[in-house]
Amino acid sequence: MNVLVLGSGGREHALVWKLQQSPGVNTIYAAPGNAGTAGLATNLPLGVEDFEGIASAAIRHQIDLIIVGPEVPLVLGIRDYFTSRPELSHIGIVGPSKEAAQLEGSKAFAKAFMQRHGIPTAAYQSFGPEELEAGYAFLETLSPPYVLKADGLAAGKGVLILDSLEAAREELQAMLLEAKFGEASARVVIEEFLSGIELSCFVLTDGNSYKILPTAKDYKRIGEGDTGLNTGGMGAVSPVPFADPGLMEKVEERIIIPTIGGLKSEGIPFVGFIFLGLIRVGEDPYVIEYNVRMGDPETEVVVPRIDSDFLELMQATAQGRLSEVHLDIRPESAATVVMVSGGYPGSYEKGFPISGLEHPSDSVVFHAGTKGDGEGRVITSGGRVLAVTSFGEDFRKALEKSYERIARIEFQGAGYRKDIGFDL
C-alpha cells in the first residue's frame, strides 16, 4: 500500500512517522513535506492546493490512500476532486468533503449546524456588510468581553476578544466594511464570551462509526503564562488531566454523537478527523470551534499515543469500515515542546543550520519548518522549526525529557516556552 500525506509541518511528520511503523505500508510520500519526512518518505515538490499535480503524482506513484493534513485543501474540495474523477475514485481519502469541511471553513455554517442539532456552544448571531447596524444592536445585548469572529479561514487570526463596546463596534466595522481579514471577514459571527478552561478532543470517523482519540491541550501564545501574540501552537500535552470520564461522557453524548449524526442526516457524512475545540464551563463542555483535520502540535502528542496499526485505522476510515477495527491507546502521557525561530510569530530569518538532531534519546524530534540545504545539513525554513515529543508517567515527566532533549539542539535564534502545562 502506497500512502501520500499532504502538508509540511510537524503534524505531517508525525503522521508519516506513525504510518512508517505499519507493516502494510510500502512507500510513503509527503507533499511537500520537510527535512523530517524526507528521512522516512519520498517528498514530492507539490503544493497542497495543486490538485492536478497531486492527482498526476497519485497515478504515477500508484498511491492507494491520501491523508490530508491541513484545512485549506479540504475547504477547497480535494475530496470532491478525487471522488468525482473515475481515474482517481479508487484512491482512499482521509479528509471530509468540501461541504462537510464548512464546519471549519465557515464559522456561521458551524454555528447554525450546532444550533440545528442542539450542540452546546456560545449564543451568537452572524452579520453581513449590510447588517452593521444590526450587529451594533446585538453587541448592546451582550456584556463584555465581546467575541468577534471572521466567518472564513483566517490562518488562526480571525478571532478578536474585546473588552469595550467601543472597540467591538470599531472592529466589527473594520471586519465587515474594510476587509480587515480579507474575504474571510465579509461575514462576522458575534458570540457570547464563555469563561472556563479549554481542551481539544479528536475524533476519527468514517461518517457512521467513530473512535475518540486522546484529548490534548495546546499552548497558542508565544509568551510564558499565555502572554503575547498567538502562534500556531508552542507545545501540547496529552491526555488532559481534567478530561475525566464524567466530562468525556458529556462530550460524547452532547457533542460527538449529534455532530456525526447531524452531518449524516444532512447528507454530508464526514470522513476524516474532527478536531473539537472545547471549553469546560463549570462541569459542562461547549464547542468553541470545529476543525476538520488534526491539530498541530496536538498531532505530535495524540498520534504517538495510538498503539493500533495506524495504516489499518486510516484505511478503515477511508473505506467506511471503522467499526471493524480496534483503537488501542498507550497509557503513558505525551508532551511536545515547539522550538521556534527568533522573532516568530513576527518576522524572522530562515536558513540557519540545526545541530544536535542526531543525539540518541527516547524523545522524538518532529520537524516542522526545516529543509535540507542540499549538502546533507538540515536548516531552518519556517517559524515553528521542531516539535520535541516525549513520553512519561505523567505530562510533567514527559516534559522534563523534552526539555533535556531540547538542550542538545541548537540553531541561531532558537526559542521555546519553558512552561508548557503550567495551568494544569
150 contributes a contact to ligand AMP by CB under 6 A: no
Among 104, 151, 171, 191, binds ligand AMP (CB under 6 A): 191
Matching residue, cell 475524533: 203
How far apart (Å, rounded) are the C-alpha atoms in residues 331 and 104? 31
Q: Give the span between the Cα atoms of 400 and 396, in whole angstroms.
A: 6
Please pick, from the candidates 102, 106, 291, 317, the single residue that binds ligand GLY as defined by CB under 6 A: 291
Distance CA 256, CA 117 (A): 11
Residue 183 neighbours by CB distance under 10 Å: 12
- Pick one of ligand GLY, ligand AMP, none as the site partner of residue 218 (Cβ within 5 to 8 A by kind): ligand GLY
Instruction: Supply the DSSP symbol for 255.
Output: I
Are 174 and 186 contacting, i.e. CB atoms less than 8 angstroms apart? no
- Cα atoms in the 13 Å half-sphere on the side-chain side of 10: 33
> Does residue 288 belong to the site contacting ligand AMP (CB under 6 A)?
yes
Nearest approach in angstroms of CB 276 to ligand AMP is: 11
Q: Beta strand pairing status for 92-94 and 124-127?
A: unpaired
Task: Indicate the residue whose CB is closest to ligand AMP.
Answer: 289
If one asks whether residue 382 binds ligand GLY (CB under 6 A), the answer comes out as no
Single residue of 1, 167, 194, 329 touching ligand AMP by CB under 6 A:
194
Residues 6 or more apart in contact with residue 257 via CB below 8 angstroms: none
Phi, psi for residue 149 in degrees, rounded to 5: -130, 125
Among ligand GLY, ligand AMP, none, what does residue 295 contact (CB within 5–8 Å per kind)?
Answer: ligand GLY
Q: Length of the chain in residues, anyone?
A: 424
Q: What angle do CA 52, 182, 369 make, to 5 degrees?
A: 55
Count, residues near ligand GLY per rule CB under 6 A: 6
- Residue 171 binding partner per list ligand AMP, ligand GLY, none, with a CB distance cut-off of 5 to 8 Å that depends on partner kind: none
Range in contact with ligand GLY (rule: CB under 6 A) among 103-111, 245-253, 292-300, 333-341? 292-300
User: Is residue 122 part of the contact set for ligand AMP (CB under 6 A)?
Assistant: yes
Regarding 289 and contact with ligand GLY (CB under 6 A), the answer is no
Q: Answer yes or no whether residue 309 interacts with ligand GLY by CB under 6 A.
A: no
Least distance to ligand AMP, CB of residue 157, Å: 8
What the block records as the C-alpha cell of 172 is: 466589527
Q: Cα-atom radius of gyration of the chain, to the nearest Å?
A: 21
Is residue 233 part of the contact set for ligand GLY (CB under 6 A)?
yes
Identify what 291 binds: ligand AMP, ligand GLY, none; CB under 5 to 8 Å per kind: ligand GLY
Rounded Cα distance between 172 and 125, Å, is 13
Q: Of ligand GLY, ligand AMP, none, which one sits near residue 296, judging by CB under 5 to 8 A according to partner kind? A: ligand GLY
- The full DSSP string for 280-294 is EETTEEEEEEEESS-
- Residue 307 corresponds to which amino acid? D
H/E stretch holding 224 reads: none
**70 makes contact with ligand GLY (CB under 6 A):** no
Under the binding rule (CB under 6 A), the answer on residue 218 touching ligand GLY is: yes
Check residue 277 for interaction with ligand AMP (CB under 6 A). Answer: yes
Contact partner at residue 151 from ligand GLY, ligand AMP, none, CB < 5 to 8 Å by partner kind: none
Q: Using the rule CB under 6 A, is 159 a contact of ligand AMP? A: yes
Binding site for ligand AMP (CB under 6 A): 122, 147, 159, 191, 193-194, 198, 277, 288-289
Binding site for ligand GLY (CB under 6 A): 218, 233, 291, 295-296, 298
